[in-house]
Amino acid sequence: MNYIKLVNKYINDIQSYLIKNSRILGYPSRIVIDSTNYCQLKCPLCPTPENMKKQEFSKLKYTNFKKICDEIGKYLYKVTFFNWGEPLLNEELPDCIKEATKHGIRSHVCTNLNTYSYELLEKLVCSGLYKLTIAIDGTTQEIYEKYRVNGNLQKVLNGIDLINEIKSKKGLEYPILVWQFIVMKHNEFQIEEAKKMADERNMKFRIKAVALDESDESLIEEWYPSDRNYQRKAYSETGRPYIDRCIELWNLPVIDCRGNLSPCAYFSKTNYSEYNVFLDGFKKAWNSPQMVMSRKAVKNKKFINNDIPCCTCEYKYSKKSFTEFVKAIKRRGSSGLGIKSIWGNKKHKKWQEYVKRKNVYERYN
């Protein structure tokens, strides 16, 4: 099974960094799939609140996710269960994670943790979930709710305590808990306090730069932190964009909860590909005419098609790079499938052994 994942990853790396072919051979090693298209918070810089006015509330069904696992599960090492919606609003999420675990696929969920029940958290902990990232951009309610509008900081902290309690009670090491802190003008003075609070709760701490339209001076004035180390703009002012190479069209499919495939995680609109992953199969959707033209647009900066959003993306051009290819096949990061670790890196192997040792499926049931 590891060799199948490994060979597939190298085939994908060759296409992602060297060939840049428009039609993909093989399968991706990781995918992003939204658990739902709805969120109970109203974060000012997020497009989800506006998008919710234009679409029905939908959730990822376990039966649909199982179709993906049955088709490409043996090639995947990671699935991310979030993009534009709040994952914990989907009561079938733990079942989906359990299915991924069954196929040896590590799962990652990012949540605002404002809606939950003890039963849901217990199922999450016992599903084999590898990592749970919790978005907390402040250490006081006043600062926290300036961006996480409608959010309740104390409820979030109580939820973290419950997760730790469940892990302790059942003797489980996973999921790894991560405190994600988006640094903005109003909260940058709380970074050190946030680190301390994360450490007290046995959480890793992750700083994230705020994403916004850098051409809008009013947004920059309102949200950008004063410390340039936390500004994405600091990268672009040096002549190098924050994202200097687009490869998601080749190695990271982004699927919404209804099975629609998007060109990348930054594209929030639906119904891009004429084929649906759940109805028509993953491979057909991944090599649909729209996805093929998107890859042509990114590969060739002279390619123009007004129907393809990639043509107007500031990160459009993606040149071939042998150096980046070498880095990819040697990488010991999240994939754990580089030359130096043919059977997976220590983190992945440790998780696999944990799942087997702790009888995750029996605990879940």
From first to last of its 365 residues, what are the pLDDT tens digits of the chain? 578 888 898 898 888 878 889 999 999 999 999 999 999 999 999 988 888 888 889 999 999 999 999 999 999 989 999 999 999 999 999 999 999 999 999 999 999 999 999 999 999 999 999 999 999 999 999 999 999 999 999 999 999 999 999 999 999 999 999 999 999 999 999 999 999 999 999 999 999 999 888 788 999 999 999 998 888 765 555 544 444 467 788 889 999 999 999 888 877 666 677 899 999 999 999 999 999 988 888 887 777 777 778 877 766 655 666 666 666 666 543 334 444 443 446 777 788 888 888 767 566 66
What is the rounded CA–CA span in Å between residue 292 and residue 13? 17
This prediction's pTM: 0.89
Residue 221 confidence (pLDDT): 93
Dihedral sign (CA 246, 249, 252, 257): positive
Per-residue tokens: 299: 């590969």
Residue 237 confidence (pLDDT): 52
Total residues belonging to the chain: 365
Residue 113 confidence (pLDDT): 98
What is the rounded CA–CA span in Å between residue 338 and residue 13? 11
What separation in angstroms does the CA of 33 have from each of 9, 36, 261, 306, 337? 19, 9, 9, 27, 22
Residue 12 confidence (pLDDT): 87
Residue 362 confidence (pLDDT): 63
What is the rounded CA–CA span in Å between residue 77 and residue 196? 32
Residue 132 confidence (pLDDT): 98
Cβ neighbourhood burial of 140 (10 Å; 0-12, 13-18, 19+): exposed
